[in-house]
Every structure is written in C-alpha cells, then in structure tokens.
Amino acid sequence: MRFAGIKTAVALSLAFSAAMWQVPSAEAFSAQDAIGAVNEATQDPELMYTIYIGMPESEVAANLRGVDGQNDWELTSRSNSTSRHDSVTYQLARGAANMKQVKEIFLVNVTDGYVKSIRIYYRSGNPKLITPLYQKALHNYGKAMGASKRRRTYDTTDATYYQVNQWQKNNGNTHDVHNINYSSGDFDICTGEHDTVRTLVIDHYHY
C-alpha cells in the first residue's frame, strides 16, 4: 500500500543522509545545536531531515541506522502487527531535558512498509531555550506554507497551556497535515500533577 504524496523520484544515498544529520558540535547535543537542528528540520515541510511521507521503510532504516551513534543520536525501534496492518516506530533521541540542555526525539511511524507520520519533540526545563526553537519553526513553516489555518491556545491549568498551529491540505479523501505545537508543561489528567518541562512538537502526517 502506498500513501498519497510519495516522492518516487527522491533517491537518498547514505552518504548524503549522514551529512544532513550533522550538527555543529561533535560533543553532546547542546542548546545551540538545537537551533540549527530545528532550522534544518523545518526548511522543507515535506522533508523532515531526510524523511518524507510515503518513503519506503528500507530507505528509512538505512538513513536512521546510518546516523545511530553519531552526534549523540541513539536509535531504538518497536514493532506492532495486527490482522490489518504491520507497523514499526523508529526513534532517534539525543540530549537531555533540563535547564541547560534540550532533548530532541525524532519519531518515524512506518505502516505496511511506508512512512505514514513523522514527529519531532524538543523538550527543556528552560523556556528561554525552547521559545527560540518554536519561533524558528513557525517562521520557516510560515515562509513555506503561509500563515497557519488554525492557531489556538488552550489552558489546562493555571500553570499549563498549549499553543496549536496547523496547516492542512485536502485532496479528495486524503488529508495532508502539518502541526507545530508548544506546551508550557506536562499535565497528568488523572492525578492533576504537572511540571514545567517545555515541549515543542513538529509533526507531519496523512490520513
């Protein structure tokens, strides 16, 4: 099964992929590295790093395994099969979510052999580190796709809020969605507990 938007003409060599994943520092992922990473990941809304919707799993696996262990990246994966679909989620993570650093988590969901969704998390306890990342992502997507069609702020508690930005294209029965979301903390709806770890989420999916 192939999803709408497959770029069959795109061929990514492993050498090219590795170059795309480079960050300025060869040491542990830093806050300064995060700014460059967000800028790279949001330059082209259809290509998050070297991954795109509809990309064959063989290319995805080669790209991600090619950077595992480089620039603080650590790769993991998990599989889930049902009677209707086979899915695999690949995760690359680096950095740490604290007052001085940013943690980056890159998730790629593959269903029946092709990428169906891509998501990046940037997390930090310091709003001064996350806010510039949020602004950079909004600037790049706005430049490429115009103003977001949906922009809202949700307050869940006095201490926690969410900012939602969405771009959506409808092609018949197919929907192409890009989101940039920001939360001022994690909130547990069951216990009412919350923290102040800021999270920026950038994702792209088809349905």
Instruction: Give residue 170's pLDDT.
Output: 86
Instruction: Give residue 187's pLDDT.
Output: 61
The DSSP secondary-structure symbol of 65 reads H
Instruction: Give residue 196's pLDDT.
Output: 75
pTM over 0.85: no
49 and 105 Cβ atoms separated by less than 8 Å: no
DSSP, collapsed to helix, strand or coil, labels residue 88 as strand
Q: Per the domain annotation, does 3 fall within a domain?
A: no
Q: How many CB atoms lie within 10 A of CB 124?
A: 26
Q: Per the domain annotation, does 2 fall within a domain?
A: no
The mean per-residue pLDDT over the stretch 125-145 comes to 93
Is the pLDDT confidence value at 143 over 90? yes
Structural domain boundaries enclosing 29? 14-206
Q: Per the domain annotation, does 9 fall within a domain?
A: no
The DSSP secondary-structure symbol of 44 reads B
Q: Per the domain annotation, does 8 fall within a domain?
A: no
Is the pLDDT confidence value at 136 over 90? yes
